[in-house]
Every structure is written in structure tokens, then in C-alpha cells.
Structure 1
Amino acid sequence: MLKVLKTSWPLLLGILLLMVGNGLQGSLLGIRGTIEGFTTFQLSIVMSGYFVGFLFGARVTPGMIRKVGHVRVFSALASMISAVLVIYPVAPEWLVWTGLRVLIGFCFSGIYITTESWLNNTATNETRGQALSAYMIVQMLGIIAAQGLLNVAEPTDFTLFVIPSVLVSLAFMPILLTPTPAPTFDTTKGLSFRALFRISPLGCMGMLLTGGIFAAMFGMSTVWGAQTGLSVRQISIFVGVMYLGGLILQYPVGWASDRMDRRNLILGLSAVGGVVMLVAALADLPFWAYLTAGLVLGGVINPLYSLLIAYTNDFLPTDQMAGASAGMIFLNGLGAIGGPLVTGWVMGVVGPGGYFLVISLLFLALAGYAAWRMTQRAAPAGTAGFAGLTPTASAVAVGVVVEDEGRKTDGRPA
């Protein structure tokens, strides 16, 4: 790991600053939008805009990189992010914010693809897995750290919009000044959705549902907190705890998944998440209990994402894993677009408790589908390696990680 840090620290530092900026603006908009008088459904549209842009960016960015190169794409997208971040308080209209969120989602998608390609290029076959694990950890730490910055100024002030803009601008320096040459960019031929669903119906449906869960969690948590009457400090702690849960439980779940039928874990985690979220939706809980629910939510959804990719790879030869990962990420993105929209509509009908209610129903739907699929075929005879991934990773990182894990494992069925 020390070797990885020595060669890749500029890239990791840059992505840390980017994630702090992204995490801060994502949390801030829910609070500021509530103050501005946006309805819950309007805010859900704003939050969904990010995932629309993210999905579009995943499709467009590879072509941009091939035409003008990594450096120019990264510089242009990062500059756009920095500019957009300071436009939010100048134009507090939900339609304007929606357009800005689409744009910033597009830019961050391209940024992730660019930096992950660079990181992959700096690593050797022996250190690639460690490098991408460090990258995932840095992503989570950046979002957690961002929540602390919510408390340095009032959400009605301009300051909290300037801080992420400055952080994103500073992120240019370590990445663009690194002596590592920009890599060549190759795309992997993907599998058709029909073929992917035939290979792993549970993987496909699971990615669609977890996309909705993650986006609802990421996009609507601060809206829920503001409507519930929590202070900014309490909201920042709640959001931070969710990501902390994902950081803590990723390894234990991964360890267990390599020693049992992954479907049992998918079913168990989804059921636990569904029940805990249902209690949070229906009961009037003290703040510490909501923190516990947030810890469970983050601790379940992040490992589930990795579990579903690993389970799908159990049925794939190594040379098809990267192509399959691109389709899985696309399905996750489609679910992510709908997650905040449905959550915002339900919150508008039943109140703040609708936040946990929608997430609960999505978890329970996944648990039910997993239980049904277990009656349709036996578990695979062998398993691919489990890789700790986050839903914010692009197809570049996911493809490299799953192929690397696949090469370490023998005896899996094709």
C-alpha cells in the first residue's frame, strides 16, 4: 500500500478534494432548497438531475477523451464544475438548479472516468487492486469530511457554495501536475441487456433497485432532515454516518460473501435494511435512533452494490466481466434517476417519513426477488472474488477491479 501511495498520491489527493466538493454541494442543496421554499417534489427533480447527467456523461466522455485527450477533458470538466458551484446561490430557481445538476453530474462522471483511467495506468498488475481500493476509500472519506464543512457557515450564506468551488479548483493541481503520462483510452465491448439479464436476472434487477436506493439516500437525505426540523449540525452528522456505515461494513460483508451463497447475503442485507427503514418511517424516533438507521442504510447499500456485481461475475468468464460491468452500471444509473423522483413524490404525499418508506419498499422488493430467484436455480459451484466498490465508481474502475479479482479465482462456471 505504501508503494501505491508513493506513486498515486497526487491522483488520490485530487479525488479527495473533488469528493469533498461534491459531497458538500450535494448535501447543501437539499438544505438551501428547503429554505428557498422549493417543494419536496421540485427538490427531487433537482436531485435526480445529477444522475441524468452522470448517466449521459458515462456514455459521452470516452469519445471526448479519444478526440482531445485526458488532460483537456479533465481541465474542461473540472472548470465547469467550479463555475457551476457558484451559480447556485445566484439563481435560486428549481428549474435552473435542475439544469445545473444535470451539468454537474455529467462533469463528475467524466472526471471519474478520467481519474480512474489515470490511476489504473499508474498501477502495476501487483498493485492495481490496492490502488483502486485506496481510491474507493478516499471517495468515501471525502464525502464524510464534506459533511463537517456544512457547519462552517450558514446555509443561507454564499460561503458554502464558494468552498466546494475552491476545492474543485485546487483538485486540478495535484492531478494535472503529476508526472505520470496520460493513458490511452480503450473501451470494452459490452454485453446486450438481454444477454446480461439472461445471465443474471437477480444482478440486473438488483442493480436497478439499489440505484434507486442509493440515489434516494444520497439526494434526499438533507431534504428529509430539513423537513424534519433537524439542525444543520444534526443533518451533517446523519449524512456522514450513512457513508461511515458503508466504509465499516464493506470488508466484513466481502469476507462473508466469499464463504457462502451470495444470494443469502443479498436476501439478508436487503431484509434487514427494509425492516429498519420501515421502523424509521412509521415510528417517531429520537435522533440517535435515526443515526442508527442511517448507519444501517449506508452499511447495507454499499456492500449490496459490490455483492450484485460479484454475483453476476460468478456466471461470467473473466474476459466478459468488464463488458458486463458497463451494463450493470447503466442499469444502476437508470434506477438512480427514478429514486429521488419517487421519494420526493411520496414525501410530498405522506410527509418526511416517506423518505424511509420508499427506501424500505425498494429493499423489501429486492429481498423478495432474491428469495424467488433462489428457487429458480442452484448457486454457482465457484465464486468470483468480491471487490469493495462504491456506486460512484465509473465503468473504468469497476471493470478493472472485477477483471483483476476474476483472474485470481479459478473454477468459476462460465
Structure 2
Amino acid sequence: MGRTLSAFRALYVATLLMLMGSGLLSTYLALRLAGDAVDGTWIGALTGAQYLGLVLGGKLGHRLIARVGHIRAYVACAGVVTAAVLAIGVLPWLPIWLVLRMLVGVGMMCQYMVLESWLNDQAEPGQRGTVFSGYMAASYLGLVLGQVVLIVWPDLGNEKLMLIGLCFALCLVPVAVTHNIHPAPMSPAPLEPRFFLDRVPQSLTTTLIAGLAIGSFYGLAPVYAAAQELPTERIGLFMGCCIFAGLLAQWPIGWLSDRYDRTTLIRYVAMAMTIVGLPLALLPHVPLAFLLLLGFMVSLLLFVLYPLAVALSNDHIEAERRVSLTAMLLVTFGVGACIGPLLVGGLMNWLGANMLYAFISLCGLILVWRIRPQDVTGLHRVEEAPLHHVPMPDSLASSPLVASLDPRVDEQLVQEQMQTAHTTSSPVSNEETELDEVNAVIENPEEKTP
């Protein structure tokens, strides 16, 4: 296992630096705007703009990689993201910041796609679980280290933006100097929303609610902690503790998911999240130790909803459609993550910072209401179900290509499915086919086409 992880250390380092910059940027902007008494709706909108960029980047990334190759696409996007981060310090105007945050999201999604397709290309079939776990650990560790920076260096000046830009600039070095051969470009998989809505409605509901809650947490939890009158370094401690809980929760929930009904688990997790979040929603001021404990417990429950939804949906979708399924789940999550921060930011501005955890508790209550084990008929359950639970990175710290690293997905089926998507959805291919037919008629005028 150690030798396998060592073989991918350059890509893991790039992932860690990128997520470190992203995690620090989210918390820094929320605290800086809260310190300037900016309306909570603007703070939520900035977070929603990044998630919108991540969703849009999934489409743009495929085209860019196909046109210029993996390394050039990665370097170009890292340069754009670095410039956008530094421009935030130069252009202190909130509407411009929205555009810049969206650019950060678009660029990061393309970087995710390069890293994940590279890992997929180099990983042997028997290594996929280990390689995937290393990628997830690097993602979470980067997010946690971004919060540790605030503990060590709590100042909120423009120097932080320079440090964030430094992280994004350095993350391109391991990829830019690699001597490995480029992996083959992959075509985008079709979303097929109507098919998945009919086949796995409860998984999509869970994914949407998780997006609403997790997007709100990343964008507005620093504002909630600031309203508790915590200094910057303790806000960093609170955020780091909550994000670390997300990493820690993946293995216990995986053990439970492989042994118990996943729909029932989602319902119990949602019920516990509703109850545990209530003290933070109702109490105006919470002692630090109690705040860390409850924040840790809420995050422990919140960050397992998306992996459980992925595992549940994979039990009812054939292997050849699982890349499309991952794309559909990420888009659904992204829609929720765009809406959640906007909605909660307005509520916090109107009713107070406690509305963040009131909203998270409400999300849990909605899942208790909507997720019903008895509604899962098992009609489309695949033969190998329940599939082994695989921990998934939270939020959109991945692209649709992450499905190719999932050991539940057969590599050959992935390639066939992506190739089918390319040949059936590419307008260039259709144009080339029509051109071939015209040439054939010109060369053989006696033959007639139907």
C-alpha cells in the first residue's frame, strides 16, 4: 500500500496544495466580509458562485483538455485561478468578486479532471481502492491545513490572498514537471436526468439536501463562529475540527453501510443530525468546548450523507451507467450548493447567525420525511448489490471522472461508456459522418443513398 501511494505522491501533493488554497479562501472571504459588516446574502452568493463555476467547469474542462492536452490545460487553469485570487485583493468590488469566484470554480474543476484522469490512467485495477483513498485523504488534509493557517496566522489582510495564490501557483509544479505520458482525453458522459429521477429518486433527494447543507456550511460557518465572538485563530480551530470530522466519519459509515440497509442509515443519520444541530440553532452563545463538540458531531453526520447517497444509487444502477450517475450526482449536489448559501445568507442577515444550524437541522428533518426504506422496491437492484461502500470526497472536491477511480466501476465498461457518449453526442462526429456520405456520392454518383 505504501509503495502504491508513493507512486502517486506528485498528484497527491498537487491535490493537497490546491485544496489548501481553496479551503483557506472560503474561510478568509467569509471572515473578511463579516468583519466589514457585509450583508450575509453577499457572503452566501460568493460561495454559490464558486459552486456554479465548479458545475460549469465540468463541461468546459473536457473541451479544454481535448484541445490542448492535460498538462497545458492544468497549467492554464492554475494560472487563471491564481490570477483570480490575487485580483480579489486588487479589485475590492463585490460584483467583480462574484465573477472571480466563479472563475476559481471553473478552473479548479478542470484541475480536478486532469488529476483524476491521470490517477485513473496510471492505477492498476487492483490498486483503485487504495489510490482513491489516498486522493480523498489528500483532499481532506488540504482543507484542514487551510484552516490551520488561520490558527497560526490569524491576520485577515491581503497577505492571506498572496498565500492562497502561492498555494494555487505551487500546485501546478508537480504536474508541470512530470515525465509521464498524457492519459487519453475522456468525453463527457450524458446526464440522463429523467432516467435517474425514475430509478434513484431517494439518492438524488439526499444529494440535493446534502448540497444545500454542505454548501451553506463551507460558506457561512465562519460567519456563525464569528457571531459567537471567537477570535480568528479559534474560528480556524472550529472549521478545522468540523472538516476533520468529515474525514474521520468516512470509515465507520462505510463499515455500517456494507452491513445495514443504506436507506435506513440515511434516515437515522438525518434524524441524529436534526437533533444534534438544535442546540447550536437555539442557543445564542455556546461555550467554546461545547461548540467544538457539537460542531464536530454535526459535521460527522453531515459529511456522510453524500457518500451514502452515492452507495445507495450504485446499488440500483448498472456498471455501464455509473459514470453518468456520478456526473448527475455532482450536478445535483452543485445545484444545492449554489442555492443553499444564498438562502441561508439571507436568513442569517434577517434572523441571526443561528439560522445556519437551524437550516442544517431542517435539512435533516426533510430527509427524515422524504427518505422511506419501504419505498425502495429493489426492482432494479443490481445482482452484486450491496456494493462495497467507497468513501467519497465531500462537496465538489472531485469531477465526474472520479467514477473511473471507483473500484465499483469496471474500467473497460467506463471506457466503452465514455466512447459511446463521445460518438453519440459530438457534433463534430456527426459532421464528419455527413461529409463522408457526401464524398461517397461524389466518388460513386451511380450509388443512391436512402
Settle same-fold status: TM greater than 0.5.
yes
Q: How many residue pairs get matched?
A: 405
Match of 1:392 among 385, 391, 396: 396
2:91 is aligned to 91
Instruction: Provide closer, same or farther for how the CA distance between residues 163 and 349 of structure 1 changes in structure 2, counting only shifts above 3 A.
Output: same
8 Å contact 1:54–1:106 — kept in the other structure?
yes
Deviation at 1:302, TM superposition (A): 2.3
The correspondence of residues 152-191 of structure 1 with structure 2, limited to 5 A, is: 152-187=152-187, 189-191=189-191
TM-score by length of 2: 0.86
Deviation at 1:163, TM superposition (A): 0.8
Gaps of at least 5 residues in structure 2 are 412-450
8 Å contact 2:17–2:168 — kept in the other structure?
yes
8 Å contact 1:314–1:383 — kept in the other structure?
yes
CA distance in 2 between partners of 1:347 and 1:233 (Å): 23
CA distance in 2 between partners of 1:405 and 1:398 (Å): 12
8 Å contact 1:51–1:102 — kept in the other structure?
yes
8 Å contact 1:58–1:394 — kept in the other structure?
no
2:28 is aligned to 28
User: Does the residue aligned with 1:375 lie in a helix, a strand or coil?
Assistant: helix
2:321 is aligned to 320
CA distance in 2 between partners of 1:396 and 1:335 (Å): 17
Moved more, 286-295 or 137-146: 286-295
1:109-163 Cα distance to aligned partner (Å, 9 max, x none): 1111111111111211111221111000010011101111114445442211111
Deviation at 1:218, TM superposition (A): 0.9
The correspondence of residues 3-402 of structure 1 with structure 2, limited to 5 A, is: 3-187=3-187, 189-283=189-283, 284-370=285-371, 373-378=372-377, 382-390=385-393, 391-402=395-406
**Where has structure 1 moved over 6 Å in runs of 4 or more?**
none
1:188-237 Cα distance to aligned partner (Å, 9 max, x none): 53341111011111011111110111101111111222233211011101
Deviation at 1:310, TM superposition (A): 0.8
Moved more, 373-382 or 141-150: 373-382
8 Å contact 1:302–1:389 — kept in the other structure?
no
CA distance in 2 between partners of 1:189 and 1:236 (Å): 38
CA distance in 1 between partners of 2:31 and 2:246 (Å): 23
CA distance in 1 between partners of 2:402 and 2:11 (Å): 17
Amino acid at match of 2:343: V
CA distance in 2 between partners of 1:153 and 1:91 (Å): 23
8 Å contact 2:58–2:400 — kept in the other structure?
no
- Note the aligned Cα RMSD (angstroms): 1.7
CA distance in 1 between partners of 2:24 and 2:38 (Å): 19
Moved more, 187-196 or 256-265: 187-196
The share of aligned pairs that are identical, in percent, is: 26
1:239-265 Cα distance to aligned partner (Å, 9 max, x none): 101111111110010011011100111
8 Å contact 1:329–1:395 — kept in the other structure?
yes
CA distance in 2 between partners of 1:345 and 1:332 (Å): 20
8 Å contact 1:36–1:92 — kept in the other structure?
no
1:274-325 Cα distance to aligned partner (Å, 9 max, x none): 1111221102421222212221232122221111011011111211111111
Amino acid at match of 1:310: A
8 Å contact 1:153–1:159 — kept in the other structure?
no
Deviation at 1:5, TM superposition (A): 2.3
CA distance in 2 between partners of 1:188 and 1:57 (Å): 12
CA distance in 2 between partners of 1:182 and 1:54 (Å): 23
Amino acid at match of 2:96: V
Instruction: Provide closer, same or farther for how the CA distance between residues 219 and 321 of structure 1 changes in structure 2, counting only shifts above 3 A.
Output: same
CA distance in 1 between partners of 2:154 and 2:322 (Å): 46
Gaps of at least 5 residues in structure 1 are 409-414
CA distance in 2 between partners of 1:396 and 1:342 (Å): 26
